[in-house]
């Protein structure tokens, strides 16, 4: 099997080399005026400070977890060391991606002074660095571990340790980053727009740099670590199931998911060359349409290439008898693509968003009601699609097919993450254009790019949530397979068993408790930011008239400390609750718990992400000059709706991705101990 890992290793290295090529391209671009450089540097410093504090806390947790895994889980100490490798690769992907993103934002704003197309290309390239670092490091780490620990009967738990390590980093960056970004954003909006009446991204607002830092830590480092976890989780689940259920035989069952990932890297790299934008003039709507169609070409090209490559891999590496595995991959790929279209419909400037815009004319209350209804409606299509993909995958390739469908949804992740991470870079560029005084034309160009970025970010969140749900389903299947392997008999989960119902109810409740804690952390952080901004407006001479200078660093420090504090309890719950259920109520109750957390977590995450995205774009639509534009009553109502939606779409909703995946991993990796104790 080591020979079969060589293409996977090469694909991982190719992905990292392509990311390096993009880094070189970005760093060659003009950094802009001294003012633009100063603003970009402040954002870089804030992002670096946040990551340093997060990683300090992560080191403590990692040392504890490595010690537990190395001492308690067989084969000792390799599960602990594998966990450490998973942690390091995920953290490195997040660090590299965000480090380049905060260098691409100022360059994007500067490019927009002369070329709309060049600005789009820089922002997209910045996002692609994160995308290809994620898939490259993910494949590289897994292939090396499989080459060293290649006996599934002995070492399957070593592979699981790698996936859990990636999950802990995602927990820190997704939950902590989400709390940071929305504490800053909500605080900046409440005092800046609502109280002081100054525009978004105004340099007089002391929280404006923290807000821009938050875009990077939440939507780049957070999203990257989230999808790194989903990507690795789907591959590891497929490897474990491939070895356990024996659909392809143990060797091919392990190597095929990794080889499929290698094909996905090549398809995604080729797809990026289709993202070539013509110069765009015309109205705001025409510019956004051109940007959207430009990036869609890359997605279409990557998907078509992946379909061809996946078919050839199945046909020649497996056999024509195993064509069901290809259908499972195709079901996941199609599911992800269609969910993207559904999310775009519910969150872009057309369709239901127009209803929120109209509702804003009668006040904030109707804006919020309409936005919530949009989110509720938006759950239907993803649920139906994931259900259909699950059934197709199971019917064509069994439990192994479910894991392959989850991987299929993520198979062109390099391209998909590039488009998603483009959004916060464009958002930062729009802010820098405003703060740097680059003029109305540049601001209009960056606003158009930002508006598309809001939609791509919303699509990315919907995609991340749905892929997390499929990955969680794969881990549920893995749980049943590992239990059967450890006990010698299949686990029977009966809804007439009270313990199963208790587990299901606790799992369903956990999603709401987790969301409540995340939302409360944002509220607490926003209150602290509001107090600090008010203090600075009051105490710093000349701040409001532009002659004084705001103390940006204090707001960054406040939000960082609040983020670290706010993520402690939610993070502990995700790890401790499944352990309590497993040790106290048994494996059947734990299975019910996993089902309950998946069902409510998936629905709640979609509702929150799409409501928040729709509220955000309704506000942007009004700010583009409709219904009176900025400062109108409709705009004020839309700002309130967007303020409610911010922690929905950027904190609580995306954080549920981590919950529904991590509880499954904790359950699976501790199955041998549950069997011994219970």
Report pLDDT for 203. Answer: 78
Query: What tokens does 337 get?
Result: 């693509």
Query: Where is pLDDT greater, at 295 or 509?
Result: 509
Distance of alpha carbon 217 from alpha carbon 94, whole angstroms: 9
- Over residues 90-120, the pLDDT tens digits come to 999 999 999 999 999 999 999 988 888 888 9
Please measure the distance between the N-terminal and C-terminal CA atoms of the chain and give it in whole angstroms: 37
Contact 162, 83 (CB under 8 A): yes
Residue-wise pLDDT for 547-573, tens only, equals 788 888 888 899 999 998 998 899 899
Q: Looking at residue 242, what is its pLDDT?
A: 86
pLDDT, average across residues 215-236: 89
- Whether 315 shows a pLDDT value over 90: the answer reads yes
Average pLDDT of the residues in 329-344: 91
Taking 80 as the threshold, does the pLDDT of residue 150 lie above it? Answer: no
| pTM metric for this prediction | 0.91
Q: What is the overall mean pLDDT for the chain? A: 89
> In this predicted model, what pLDDT tens digit does every residue of 41-64 receive, in sequence order?
989 988 898 899 889 999 999 999
What is the DSSP-derived secondary structure letter of residue 321? Answer: G
C-alpha distances in Å from residue 152, one per residue of 92, 243, 245, 507: 27, 6, 12, 30
Residue 269 has pLDDT above 90, yes or no: yes
> Rounded mean pLDDT of 448-463?
78
Q: How far apart are CA 468 and CA 171, in angstroms?
A: 13
Q: What is the CA radius of gyration of the chain?
A: 24
Q: What is the pLDDT of residues 60-75, one digit of tens each?
A: 999 999 999 888 888 8
Answer yes or no: are the C-beta atoms of 129 and 19 closer than 8 Å: yes
Positive or negative: CA dihedral 381, 382, 385, 388:
negative
**314/320 Cα distance (integer angstroms):** 7
Residue 359 or residue 296, greater confidence: 359
- Average of pLDDT values for 33-37? 90
Confidence of residue 198 (pLDDT cuts 50, 70, 90): confident
Task: State residue 282's pLDDT score.
Answer: 64
Per the CB < 8 A criterion, the answer to whether 430 and 443 are in contact is yes
Q: How confident is the model at residue 331 (pLDDT cuts 50, 70, 90)?
A: very high
Q: Provide the 3-class DSSP secondary structure of residue 373.
A: helix
> Are the C-beta atoms of residues 403 and 477 closer than 8 Å to each other?
yes
Higher-pLDDT residue of 533, 151: 533
What pLDDT is stored for residue 132 in this prediction?
97
pLDDT of 465 over the 60 cut: yes
| Paired tokens of 274 | 């289709």
Query: At residue 281, does pLDDT exceed 80?
Result: no
Specify the pLDDT at position 65: 92
Query: Would you state the pLDDT for residue 1?
Result: 55
Mean pLDDT value of segment 78-87: 92
Distance CA 106, CA 124 (A): 13
Gap between the Cα atoms of 342 and 350, Å rounded: 12
Q: Distance of CA 524 to CAs 146, 171, 556, 573, Å?
A: 44, 20, 15, 20
Q: 268 with 413: CB under 8 angstroms?
A: yes
Alpha carbons 144 and 509: distance in angstroms, whole number: 39
Residue percentage of the chain with pLDDT more than 90:
51
């Amino acid at each position: 099997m080591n020979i079969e890992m060589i293409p996977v290793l090469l694909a991982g290295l190719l992905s990292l080399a392509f990311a390096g090529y993009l880094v070189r391209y970005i760093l060659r671009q003009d950094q802009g005026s001294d003012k633009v450089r100063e603003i970009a540097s402040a954002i870089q410093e804030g992002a670096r400070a946040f990551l340093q504090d997060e990683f300090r806390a992560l080191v403590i947790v990692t040392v504890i977890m490595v010690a537990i895994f190395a001492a308690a889980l067989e084969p000792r100490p390799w599960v602990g060391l594998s966990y450490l490798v998973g942690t390091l690769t995920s953290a490195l992907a997040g660090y590299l991606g965000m480090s380049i993103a905060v260098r691409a934002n100022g360059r994007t704003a500067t490019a927009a002074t002369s070329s709309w197309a060049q600005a789009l290309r820089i922002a997209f390239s910045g996002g692609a660095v994160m995308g290809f670092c994620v898939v490259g490091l993910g494949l590289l780490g897994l292939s090396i571990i499989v080459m060293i620990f290649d006996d599934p009967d002995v070492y399957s738990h070593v592979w699981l340790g790698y996936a859990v390590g990636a999950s802990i980093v995602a927990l820190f960056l997704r939950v902590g980053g989400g709390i940071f970004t929305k504490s800053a954003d909500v605080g900046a909006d409440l005092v800046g727009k609502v109280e002081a009446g100054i525009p978004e991204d105004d340099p007089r607002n002391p929280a404006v740099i923290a807000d821009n830092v938050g875009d990077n830590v939440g939507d780049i480092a957070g999203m990257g670590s989230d999808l790194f976890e989903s990507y690795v989780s789907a591959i590891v689940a497929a490897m474990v199931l491939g070895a356990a259920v024996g659909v392809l035989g143990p060797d091919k069952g392990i190597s095929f998911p990794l080889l499929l990932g290698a094909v996905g890297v090549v398809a995604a790299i080729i797809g990026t060359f289709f993202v070539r934008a013509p110069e765009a003039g015309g109205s705001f709507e025409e510019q956004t349409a051109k940007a959207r169609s430009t990036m869609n070409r890359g997605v279409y090209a990557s998907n078509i290439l992946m379909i061809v490559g996946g078919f050839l891999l199945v046909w020649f590496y497996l056999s024509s008898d195993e064509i069901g595995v290809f259908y499972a991959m195709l079901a996941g790929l199609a599911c992800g693509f269609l969910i993207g279209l559904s999310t775009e419909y519910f969150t872009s400037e057309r369709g239901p968003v127009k209803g929120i815009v109209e509702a804003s004319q009668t006040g904030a209350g109707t804006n919020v009601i309409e936005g919530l209804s949009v989110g509720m409606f938006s759950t239907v299509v993803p649920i139906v699609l994931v259900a259909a993909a699950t059934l197709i995958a199971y019917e064509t390739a069994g439990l192994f097919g479910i894991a392959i469908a989850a991987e299929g949804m993520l198979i062109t992740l390099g391209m998909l993450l590039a488009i998603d991470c483009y959004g916060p870079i464009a958002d930062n560029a729009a802010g820098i254009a405003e703060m740097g005084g680059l003029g109305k034309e540049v601001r209009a160009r960056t606003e158009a790019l930002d508006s598309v970025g809001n939609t791509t970010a919303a699509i990315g969140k919907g995609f991340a949530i749905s892929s997390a749900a499929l990955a969680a389903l794969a881990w549920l299947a893995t749980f049943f397979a590992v239990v059967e392997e450890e006990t010698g008999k299949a686990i029977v989960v009966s809804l007439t068993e009270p313990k199963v119902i208790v587990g299901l109810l606790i799992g369903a409740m956990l999603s709401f408790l987790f969301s409540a804690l995340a939302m409360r952390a944002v509220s607490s952080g926003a209150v602290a930011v509001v107090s600090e901004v008010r203090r600075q407006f009051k105490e710093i001479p000349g701040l409001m008239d532009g002659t004084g200078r705001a103390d940006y660093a204090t707001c960054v420090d406040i939000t960082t400390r609040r983020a670290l504090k706010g993520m402690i309890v939610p993070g502990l719950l995700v790890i401790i609750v499944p352990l309590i259920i497993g040790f106290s109520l048994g494996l059947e109750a734990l299975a019910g718990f996993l089902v309950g957390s998946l069902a409510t977590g998936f629905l709640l995450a979609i509702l929150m992400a799409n409501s928040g995205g729709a509220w955000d774009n309704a506000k942007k639509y009004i700010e583009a000059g409709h219904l009176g534009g900025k400062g109108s009553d409709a705009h004020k109502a839309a700002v309130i709706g967007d303020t409610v939606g911010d922690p929905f779409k950027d904190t609580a909703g995306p954080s549920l991705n981590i919950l529904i995946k991590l509880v499954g991993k904790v359950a699976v990796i501790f199955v041998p101990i549950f069997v011994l104790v219970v």
